[in-house]
Amino acid sequence: MTVSNQYARYPSLQDRPVLITGGASGIGAAMVEEFALQGSTVAFLDVATGPAEELMRSLDGRSAHQPLFVQCDVTDIDALQAAIHHVETRLGRIRVLVNNAANDDRHAVKDVTPEYWDNRMNVNLRHHFFTIQALSPGMKSAGGGSIINMSSIAWMIPSTGLPAYLTAKAAIVGLTRAMAHELGSSNIRVNSVLPGAILTERQQRLWWTPEYEEQIMGRQALKRYLVPSDVARTALFLASDDSSTITNQNLIVDGGWV
């Protein structure tokens, strides 16, 4: 197993159990890959088996520990809790949680029904709390841990055309601050990462138009594309002992947009 000399190696992440939600594609897949290449024992949850299996194949022979994939719909809290129990049975007490699962489908204000609103909260917010609730006792008994909640700069810009998603992503910052103080006495750190315009396959396929790219490059201080691994390497730092005094923070990874 090798990690590029261009980037940091974190000895504290070697063999450290990590759980990532929504890990089969996009930023989540980059998280799985980067933690695996650090030598962590990684588990990830996702509803999409095809991309998950493809990711597993891409890591075959490249990491000290083959990641564990568990198919799970994180909006089903009973299933989520069962998946977490299964992961802890296999890997031991989880020391790093990355709450990444989300869906940024666009929606017009006039079209949002109560049912759709509740669904967007379930997809983008509710599971953050319940994964923390389920995993924090184990983290405490293991001596501490790091929880990384994925928010977005989208609610800060602000964006339009997806108000329920923006509400959930803003609420994640509030949840992070609350849980950092709830869990700090147990040596559990809680931080948020707020990505900007990240060039994922989904973004390219659905929304990355020449006009949007022009807007991005006009707003960013750094005039380059941001890719999923840029975000994932930020999570590595927050998960490692190098950041052992950092909690209750919101780390923006946007090339200087906001």
The answer as to whether 6 is a domain residue is: no
pLDDT along the chain (258 residues), means of 10: 72 98 98 98 98 97 96 98 98 98 96 98 98 98 98 95 97 98 98 97 89 95 97 98 98 97
* Annotation says 116 is catalytic: no
Quick: pLDDT tens for 178-203: 999 999 999 999 999 999 999 999 98
Active-site entry in 116, 165, 212, 225: 165
What does the chain look like in DSSP terms, one character per residue?
----TTS---GGGTT-EEEEES-SSHHHHHHHHHHHHTT-EEEEEES-HHHHHHHHHHHTTTSSSPPEEEE--TT-HHHHHHHHHHHHHHH-S--EEEE---------GGG--HHHHHHHHIIIIIHHHHHHHHHHHHHHHTT-EEEEEE--GGGTTT--S-HHHHHHHHHHHHHHHHHHHHHGGGTEEEEEEEE-SB--HHHHHHT--HHHHHHHHHH-SS-S-B-HHHHHHHHHHHHSGGGTT--S-EEEESSS--
Closest listed residue to residue 136, CA positions, set 189, 83, 172 = 189
The answer as to whether 74 is a domain residue is: yes
The answer as to whether 79 is a domain residue is: yes
The answer as to whether 5 is a domain residue is: no
| Number of compact structural domains in the chain | 1
How many Cα neighbours within 13 Å face the side chain of 122? 12
Q: Would you give the distance in Å from CA 94 to the centre of its chain?
A: 15
**Quick one: what percent of the chain has pLDDT higher than 70?**
98
Q: Where residue 68 sits, what CATH number does that domain have?
A: 3.40.50.720
Residue 38 near residue 65 (C-beta atoms within 8 A): no
The range of the structural domain enclosing residue 219 comes to 13-253
Q: Which residues face 194 on adjacent strands?
A: 252
pLDDT (0 to 100) of residue 5: 65
pLDDT (0 to 100) of residue 206: 87
Residue 153 near residue 258 (C-beta atoms within 8 A): yes
Closest listed residue to residue 136, CA positions, set 84, 100, 173 = 84
Residue 107 neighbours by CB under 8 Å, 6+ apart: 116, 120, 161, 162, 163, 164, 165
pLDDT (0 to 100) of residue 1: 39
The answer as to whether 212 is a domain residue is: yes
The answer as to whether 1 is a domain residue is: no
Residue 61 neighbours by CB under 8 Å, 6+ apart: none
